[in-house]
Amino acid sequence: MKPSEFEYHAPTTIDDAVRLLGTLEDARVLAGGQSLMPMMNFRYLMTTHLIDLNGVDALTRIEERNGRLHIGAMARQRDIELSPLVTQRAPLIRDAYQLVSHKQIRNRGTLGGSLCQLDPSSEQPCFTAALDGVLTIARHEDGAVATRELPMSDWALMYMTPALEEGELLTGISLDIWPAGHGYAFEEFARRHGDYAIVGVAALCTADAHGRLDRVSLTVCGVAPGPVRMHEVETALRGRPMDEDALRIAGDAARELDVMTDAHVSTDYRQHLAGVLTERALKTAFSRVATKS
Amino acid sequence: METRTVRVVVNGTAYEREVEPRRMLGDFLRHDLDLTGTHYGCEHGVCGACTVLIDGRTARACLTLAAQMDGHTLTTVEGLAGADGTLNALQKAFAECHALQCGFCTPGMLMTLTELLNETDSPTEAEIREAITGNLCRCTGYQPIVAAALLAAQRIREQRAAAPAAQATE
Amino acid sequence: MAVTIRSSFTVDAPPADVWKTMIDIERSAPCFPGAELKEQQPDGSYKGGFTVKLGPLTLKFAGKFRIAEQNDADRTVVVSASGTDTKGRGGADAQINAVVTEAGSKTKVDVVSDVNLSGTVAQYGRGAGMIEALSQQLLNQFAKNLTALIEADAAQAPAAAADQPATPAAAGSPAQTSGTATAAAPAEARRPAPAPAPVVPLDAGALVRKAMWLSIRNFFARLFGSKKQQQ
């Protein structure tokens, strides 16, 4: 099983990468390769040009800027997982990465690659949506690099199809930083450890000094082409105490989600999982909240 | 077909070869460098038999292009034993604990556990099991592999504890 | 893998016009995003190609299709199509049943497609759900293009055709179809085109996607918020 022939390009700057992508006919980018290479090995996917992004160091940065966490599209999943900055500012991410595949995959895989692959069951689009991610997309225009920003909520066009035009490159992701002491949890159900989630839930919350919920973020993956933010529930939970009623409200709403059916899992089962995992994730998030004084 | 030059250090030895862009790392190691210790099980990243260390981190040789390795440092299973062929602590533990039968998954297992033992000198059983989730074995049922890893970790700790004393006596 | 896709679309034109345009294969087939119409065969079938982006893959089918049944009185048609991926990844054959009915001042077209996928394509990833979602988007785009074509016909009907040769491979869109054109120029003009056919860019994907994107945001808003069954 070997890929079909292609021409290989190894740019070292964002400018070069974007220019190549914008000017070569039938070109694809190689990020971590953990999704792309299997498809190329199977010859599902064939391309004339392969643009290897692994030499573009500028795309690997993980930093805090203007109150948001900025992660370059080529940052290795393992680096993000182990980053002290990420653990401090967005502990949800480290929790989520414990469930993402295996170390060998995370050592090479990238956040940008996962977002572009956009598997419905993938944990990374899920936490990106939970953290109100904003994506930076670059393209080659008039001999220079032009960029646009897109909120994660607009990223999924349909199954495994992100809102990337031909010749565009995802360069970075910025994420909300929740205040210190916020509650967080990532729960998922998969048949084997490391598998894509059948259903996964990312929960974030803060509470006031009286233990009443202030801000809530609840995102479900594995039920639709893109991660589903449960905005109505988030609003409904504001001001409520972190109790069984809150869990029930969230769980019931999750069970009512419009979900997809596939060969592996029925609609009923997915809805059931969504309900149970939402309650579990919220419960854990509640337990982690350090109430403001 | 245009070829790419790959200058790579494998197990401490520098190599320079011309490769087709689509040459996979596993094939490069096995056929271009005659290092057949790295095995191909599934060729799509799920079995772990082809696991090697790239710049000290485990990766699937079946999902990496040889051309990508230009300028990098690799360790394969052939690099674990001493120059005189003496098995290292992990390999010895594998042999003693019967952590291999057919041996097909073994190179991948060893590289994965090497990374683990480089990260921590006291891995728990849970951490060992977690680390090898990406390596499939059809023969052993994993128990002896876990036992070997625990034994190796223990011996390495003992070696390290003994080493300063040994140096002092030289 | 067998999939039955039920979908429908509405065209802002009288049923008679919609019917007439739809059964004129040489004009309606190119309205289908990614479709390329080739020569008509002696037996009445058409050779054609169909390029579609399914997640990370771009599939290019080459094959043929024909009108298997046509009932002008009821305005029902059955089209059968079959093709294989040019890169050997599998094949598809489809039986498409379309019914054109009046819906107030507009026309409703109900389509039931029985699609059979074989080979690698059939095993790919998300399977049925993905293919259904994609099919609905393609049909929505088909509806838009067909509407534009019918409107163009209505505008041109009294005058003789301008008969500009339709240029293939232009990345821009002709004025009438305002950025949503995705159809191929017929490979050979068997008769003079009464109106300039919409043109397809060599890369159908970008324009299709832009138009699709604009038209499916509502789809997702409904999907995420509502309680209706997706199937």
CATH number at residue A148: 3.30.465.10
Q: Which of A35, A158, A219 to probe the C interface (max C CBs under 10 A)?
A: A158
| Angle between helix C128-156 and C15-23 (nearest 10) | 110
Indicate if A43 and A65 belong to the same structural domain.
no
Chain C residues close to A236, C-beta within 8 Å: none
Domain contains A253: yes
Q: What is the pLDDT of residue A118?
A: 95
CATH number at residue A30: 3.30.43.10
* A191 and A131 within one domain: no
By Cβ distance, the residue of C126, C213, C227 closest to A258 is: C227
- Answer yes or no: do B21 and A10 touch at CB < 8 A: no
pTM metric for this prediction: 0.85
d(CA A56, CA A11): 7
Query: Is A293 within a domain?
Result: no
pLDDT at C126: 56
Single residue among A118, A144, A176 that ends a domain in this structure: A176
- The count of CB pairs under 8 A between chains A and C is 86
**Assigned domain for A2 exists:** no
Contact residues, chain B to chain A, C-beta under 8 Å? 1-2, 4, 20-22, 24, 27, 43-45, 48, 51, 54, 57-60, 62-65, 67-68, 112, 115, 130-131, 133-134
- The number of folded domains in chain A is 3
> Mind listing the pLDDT tens digit for each residue in C35-73?
888 888 998 899 999 888 888 888 889 999 899 999 999
Residue range(s) occupied by CATH 1.10.150.120 in chain B: 89-162
Q: Which residues make up the CATH 3.10.20.30 domain(s) of chain B? A: 4-79
- From residue C216, give the alpha-carbon distance in Å to each of A156, B33, B134, C161: 11, 52, 39, 34
Distance from the C226 Cα atom to the nearest Cα atom in chain A, whole angstroms:
7
DSSP states along C144-162: HHHHHHHHHHHHHSSSPP-
What's residue C215's pLDDT?
40
Among B163, B153, B134, smallest CA distance to B92 is for B153
The domain in which residue A246 lies consists of 183-288
Cβ contact A224–C216 (<8 Å): no
Q: Does A43 touch chain B (CB under 8 A)?
A: no
Within a domain: A204:
yes
Is A1 domain-assigned? no
Q: Each residue of B83-98: pLDDT tens digit? A: 999 999 999 999 999 9
pLDDT digits (tens, 9 = 90+) for A169-217: 999 999 999 999 999 999 999 888 877 789 999 999 999 999 999 999 9
| A86 shares its domain with A172 | yes
Is position A47 within any domain? yes
Q: Kindly tell me if the per-residue pLDDT of C210 is higher than 80.
A: no
pLDDT at C183 over 50: no
Chain A residues with beta carbon closer than 8 angstroms to that of C201: none
Q: Which of A176, A211, A245 is the last residue in one of the domains?
A: A176
How many Å apart are CA C21 and CA C77, to the nearest integer? 12
User: What residues in A contact B1, CB-CB < 8 Å?
Assistant: 5
Lowest mean pLDDT among A187-191, C57-61, C93-97, C214-218: C214-218
Q: Give the pLDDT band of residue B167 (cuts 50, 70, 90).
A: low
- pLDDT score for C28: 87
Q: Is the Cβ–Cβ distance between C49 and C24 less than 8 Å?
A: no
- Give residue C230's identity as a one-letter amino acid code: Q
Shared domain for A193 and A234, answered yes or no, is yes
What pLDDT is attached to residue A48?
95
- What is the value of ipTM here, to two decimals? 0.93
Please name which of A116, A132, A151 lies closest in space to residue A218, comparing C-alpha atoms: A132
Asked if A174 is an interface residue toward chain C (Cβ–Cβ < 8 A), one would say no
Residue A189 Cα distances to A186, A197, A219, A233, C214, angstroms = 10, 6, 14, 21, 34
CATH architecture assignment, domain B4-79: Roll (3.10)
Model confidence at C128, pLDDT cuts 50, 70, 90, reads: low
User: Is B89-162 a CATH 2.40.40.20 domain?
Assistant: no
> What is the distance between the alpha carbons of residues C194 and C14, in angstroms, rounded to a whole number?
19
